[in-house]
Chain A
Amino acid sequence: MSETTDQTVVETPEGAGKPDMIVLEGVEKIYPGSTQPAVSQLDMAIPQGEIVMLIGPSGCGKTTTLKMINRLIEPTAGRILLDGKDVTHVNGDQLRREIGYVIQQGGLFPHFSIADNIGVVPKMLGWDKQRIRQRADELLHLVGLEPSTFRDRYPRQLSGGQQQRVGVARALAADPPVMLMDEPFGAIDPITRDRLQDEFLDIQRTVGKTIAFVTHDLQEAVKLGDKIAVFATGRLEQYDSPDTVLTQPANDFVSDFVGGGAAVRRLSLLELAHLELHPVETDEKAAGSRNGTPVVEVDGSGKPVSWRHLPGGDAAGTAMVTVPISGTVYDAVDVMLDGCASLVAVVDEEGRAQGVLHWNDLVGGLRTRKGHA
């Protein structure tokens, strides 16, 4: 297989510089008894360390595509390359042990303890017991579950969200470079799902895996994806960054699928940290500078509690709402609507005001800071 091991970087507009970890070449799947291909002539490359979201209406072939990467479904035609190596015909079971896999209902083995569930793949790979136990604890820690509490429990003693965390830990156990996720947060209530998504991004920042992620939730795709692949009846309609998919849909299908509200969805792509915010003053200095800058009243720890002065506004009659700077414009709009306020104070991790975002900024144009395109 030496001729295939040195796969060169495929030219992609954004993945330049990063080698492709997963490459699908002319991959096709026709299910027995069907004349219509479920996936037809698919070419796709996923650069190392990126999260690619596969999205589309049900029956569009996104799940089939995902399952062909670890050959749970055998492709009818085409080639699959993992890290430059052709894996189209290697032993499927061996291959799958080197690829993390997370599914919707968690799929934890009910008769295995949590630690044993996480240790499933390492055990097959012949790790010694001590190392497996250490790894399980390490991963439980990573996914935010206290090892001493959860190690010896059984899946049914855990909530859906906790089970899904264990599912992610299990997929990470043997430290595979690639992870496949099939609607992992699909069956979880919205609040927990949101938290799991945040944690998932945190984990990804530490582990830097190459991830293919199937979802039917556009919100999720936009939030988690470095790229989004939109599928329609077995074909890849658009494969681009979330921003591009939302603002420049490749065709009618994609724009129909993205649907109305693309502009609103895009707000969640704009991180407050990257925006040029209006300055804000705290009251110590404010006495001298009663100009156009809003002034906030702070408590003992420096957290804003109310508005002292609003240029051209009623400071006493305006509710004080805050949003963390780690959030997005979407979050800022959410708090403003919720608090019936026309402006919001953006605060840092200690809760100190860093700047102000006005309702008018949304329609007047948001300015990003230099260095952030």
Chain B
Amino acid sequence: MSTATQGTVNTQAEASVEEVEGKQQSRLAALWMQHYDLVILPLIIVLVLGLLLLYVGSRDLDTIEERVLAADNVGGLLVQHIWLAAISTVLVLVIAVPLGIVLSRRGARRAQGPVLAIGGFAQALPPFGVLLLMAFWLNFGFWTAVIGLTLAALLPVLRNTVVGLQQVDQSLIEAARGMGMTSRQTLFRVEIPLAVPVIVAGLRVALVLNVGTATLASYIGAGGLGELVQQALRLNRINVLLVAGGVIAALALLIDWLAGVAERVVVARSG
């Protein structure tokens, strides 16, 4: 072996030692690079709420303001809000995901195009309008709002599921079929597991949409944190308005953050 070649081998060995050390460092760095936004969001939430408390604390509240901002009033509306969003999200999932899977079956593929197109266009259909129309059709109240929220979030989530299943690598499906899996086995063992990240993303979209639309449920007498805004506007109290806006924003950000963390855990698990 000539000196030139030996030299090459040595330097390569050195390089690989360095590489291993570098990789351990860069794994931490990569983890940070991938997930640093998860740290930023709680900071924003804390900042928003902190500023709000500071502001309100520095003000003398009149009796009306004190009554509206009392802990049991705000807390009750908050719980109502969470129930509205939670129930409608579960309903959306139960309806939209199976429907999306059915649409991805061979027989129903033709319906996919129209569903995607209408789903995209329906983004312009105002959830507020859907909610109000429900109130006319049924009546004012909590369950009307739940149905309205469910309907408003249905198409976006359905769209997400269909796109997710479409994006599953066709060659994997072919490989599964080639190994003798039936179309049902392929669906449950290959397609759905691979589409899980997108379905979970859809869940997140539904949750965020529903938390947002639930603020409008107060306009059909279903309560929720929108009630605070309505009261503030009615009573013309800026302090109440700011607290209401801040609490709603913080809740939405928090729920989105939780959904985001859950999403990453699921995606990491499914590789």
Contact = CB atoms under 8 A, between A and B. Distances in A.
B11 A36 contact: yes
B122 to A, nearest CB: 33
Interface in A32-82: 35-36
A296 interface: no
A364 B5 CA distance: 36
B2 interface: yes
B5 A252 contact: yes
Interface string A202-238: 0000000000000000000000000000001101010
Given A35-B18, A36-B15, A252 B8 contact: no
B117 interface: no
A252 B15 contact: no
B19 to A, nearest CB: 10
B30 to A, nearest CB: 15
B5 A253 contact: yes
Interface residues of B, number: 10
B18 A252 contact: no
A210 to B, nearest CB: 28
B1 interface: yes
B4 A252 contact: yes
Contacts of B11: 36, 233
Contacts, number: 23
A251 B15 contact: no
Interface string B12-30: 1011001000000000000
B2 A233 contact: no
A253 B2 contact: yes
A183 B243 CA distance: 64
B2 A251 contact: yes
Contact of B2 (A35, A235, A252): A252
Contacts of B18: 35
Contact of A232 (B1, B4, B14): B4
Interface string B164-195: 00000000000000000000000000000000
Nearest to B18: A35
Interface in A251-285: 251-253, 256
Nearest to A234: B11
A244 B234 CA distance: 94
Contacts of A232: 4, 8
A237 B4 contact: yes
A233 B1 contact: no
Contacts of B4: 232, 235, 237, 251-253
A35 B18 CA distance: 10
A252 B5 CA distance: 7
A323 B136 CA distance: 90
Most buried by B among A35, A235, A252, A256: A252
A36 B7 CA distance: 13
A251 B2 CA distance: 7
Contacts of B14: 36
Nearest to A36: B15
Nearest to B1: A252
Contacts of A256: 5
Contacts of A233: 8, 11-12
Nearest to B8: A233
Interface string B187-216: 000000000000000000000000000000
A256 B1 CA distance: 11
A107 B5 CA distance: 36
A253 B8 contact: yes
Interface string B87-118: 00000000000000000000000000000000
B91 to A, nearest CB: 46
Among B4, B12, B14, chain A packs the most CB atoms within 10 A around the CB of B4
A253 B7 CA distance: 11
Nearest to B15: A36
Contacts of B8: 232-233, 253
A155 B2 CA distance: 48
A52 to B, nearest CB: 21
Nearest to A57: B8
Interface string B38-82: 000000000000000000000000000000000000000000000
A235 B2 CA distance: 15
Nearest to A232: B8
A84 B4 CA distance: 32
A39 to B, nearest CB: 14
B1 to A, nearest CB: 6
B2 to A, nearest CB: 4
Contacts of A252: 1-2, 4-5
Contacts of A237: 4
Nearest to A37: B11
Given A237-B4, A256-B5, 11 more contacts: A36-B14, A36-B15, A232-B4, A233-B8, A233-B12, A251-B5, A252-B1, A252-B4, A252-B5, A253-B4, A253-B8
Query: What 5 A-B pairs have minimum CB-CB distances, sorted nearest first?
Result: A252-B2, A251-B2, A251-B4, A252-B5, A253-B4
23 contacts: A35-B18, A36-B11, A36-B14, A36-B15, A232-B4, A232-B8, A233-B8, A233-B11, A233-B12, A235-B4, A237-B4, A251-B2, A251-B4, A251-B5, A252-B1, A252-B2, A252-B4, A252-B5, A253-B2, A253-B4, A253-B5, A253-B8, A256-B5
